[in-house]
Structure 1
Amino acid sequence: MAALSTARAALIATTVGLDDEQAGESPTAGALCPGGLIKHVASTEENWLRFEVSGPSAMSHDLPDGVTWADLAAGTAREILQWMTDHRNDFRMLPGETLAGVIARYEQVAARTEETIASVPDLAAVHPLPQAPWHEQGAVRSVRRVLMHVIAETAQHAGHADILRETIDGRTAT
């Protein structure tokens, strides 16, 4: 858990001194912004930890009501559009959101993750992955592998956030 705490701290450090407007800026060719990256990482961590507690059904909450991953793969325009909009908004700071609020939510997710992992008796315990176009049929994930994925995702996005920060005002978190 120390590696995850270190990656989280690196991500949050990229926003120190930014105001809400700067935290929502997308200064590169993509749509990424520092605050949106924190939102995305919090959501990803929360989803994967929910998976570890409740199994594959816990990950279907990301889909529009009544839509399965198979529906999305087959794709009617309405379902795909709704899912893409929700997913894209996970990377942005929306009107009314503040950097302090985004960080507070991330800290709440982190605290729940710490509690959940502390209560897991076996890091080798597995759940089948939900059916989705990007998961191999019948694949499973252990708690340990999910944690490694969350650590990697957090560290990767901390690097993205550092580039964004340097582009916004010339500063970096290091």
Structure 2
Amino acid sequence: MAGTYTPVALTVSVTGEKEDLLTLLADQRALLRITARGLTDEQARQKTTVSDLNIGGLIKHLASGFRATAQTIVDRGENAEFDMAAVADAYALRDDETIDGWLDEYDRAAEAFDQVIADVASLDDLIPQPTAPWQPEREWWTVRKMTLHLLRETAHHSGHADIIREALDGQSTMAAISEGQSWADS
């Protein structure tokens, strides 16, 4: 699909709107991976802005989000509640965790999510969303809306990660992907 920043290849066989959504999502995931490229665990934990966010924590958060969203689509639990305790350290790369470990989980969670989207009968399927303190009433979202939500979350947090990385060592994702390209030199 033209219009991506990175060369992406899907791990599932889909066409049409599913292909478009998953390709753009894969591109955003690849951009986030570029932001984390070459980081040590210490650098991945480092906070370089006034917020508490760091690159390792953002990747951990997104990996968990892909995993949870895939499970929500599969389970379709009409009585599901968001588990606040399960996300207590969602944005923290703990000392016993590594950036490489979470990047591997990010890839596995993304592949699992993509497979769920490939297998779902229709992007129009309605899925009950877990209730949460910020969403106390049950809502039903289409698979399409859930996928678009993950696309937005990934792009949003990729931007956070890019700012954190640039403050860390000056690398920006766009400069990193254009490095050595003839069009970038002109």
Contact 2:81–2:131 (8 Å) recurs in 1: no
Give the deviation of 1:43 after TM superposition. 0.7
The answer on 1:147 being equivalent to 2:168 is: no
Quick one: which of 32, 55, 58 aligns to 1:34?
55
Distance 1:137 1:124, change over 3 A: same
Question: Residue 168 of structure 1 corresponds to which residue in structure 2?
Answer: 168
SS in 2 for 1:22: helix
- What is the aligned partner in structure 2 of residue 18 from structure 1? 39
* Residues 84-114 of structure 1: CA deviation (Å, up to 9, x unaligned): xx53411111012111111001011011111
Structure number with the bigger relative contact order (C-alpha 8 A, sep ≥ 6) is 1
Instruction: For residue 129 of structure 1, report the CA deviation from its aligned partner.
Output: 2.1
What are the superposed Cα offsets for residues 118-137 of structure 1, whole Å, 9 maximum, x if unpaired? 11111100022223232263
Which of 23, 36, 45 lines up with 1:2 in the alignment? 23
Residues 117-170 of structure 1 show CA distances to partners (whole Å, capped at 9, x for unaligned) of 111111100022223232263421010100000010001000000000001111
RMSD: 1.8
Q: How does the TM-score come out when normalised to structure 1?
A: 0.81
Shift of 1:57: 5.8
Per-residue deviation at 1:27? Answer: 1.3
CA contact (8 A) 2:31 2:173 kept: yes
TM superposition shift of 1:59: 5.3
Moved over 4 A (4+): none
Structure 2 SS opposite 1:141: strand
Q: Which runs of 5+ in 2 are unaligned?
A: 1-21, 175-186
Match status 1:87 vs 2:87: yes
* Distance in structure 1 (CA, Å) of the matches to 2:170 and 2:88: 26
Distance 1:121 1:18, change over 3 A: same
CA deviation map 1:45-79 (0-9, x unaligned): 1111111111246954734xxxxxxxxxxxxxxxx
Does the aligned pair in 2 maintain the 1:34–1:161 contact within 8 Å? yes
Unaligned 5+ residue runs, structure 1?
A: 64-82
Bigger Cα displacement from structure 2, 87-96 vs 132-141: 132-141
Residue 125 of structure 2 contacts residue 142 of structure 2 at CA under 8 Å; is this kept in 1?
Answer: yes
Residues 47 and 58 in structure 1, CA contact (< 8 A), matched pair in contact too? no
2 CA distance for matches of 1:17 and 1:57?
A: 42
Alignment of 1:102-121 (within 5 A): 102-121=102-121
* Paired letter, 1:49: A
Checking the alignment, whether the CA contact within 8 Å between 1:50 and 1:59 is kept in structure 2 is no
Count of aligned pairs: 153
**Are the aligned partners of 1:28 and 1:164 in contact in 2 as well (CA < 8 Å)?**
yes
Q: Which residue of 2 aligns with 1:54?
A: 75
Q: Structure 2 length normalisation: TM-score?
A: 0.76
- Structure 1 residue aligned with 2:182: none
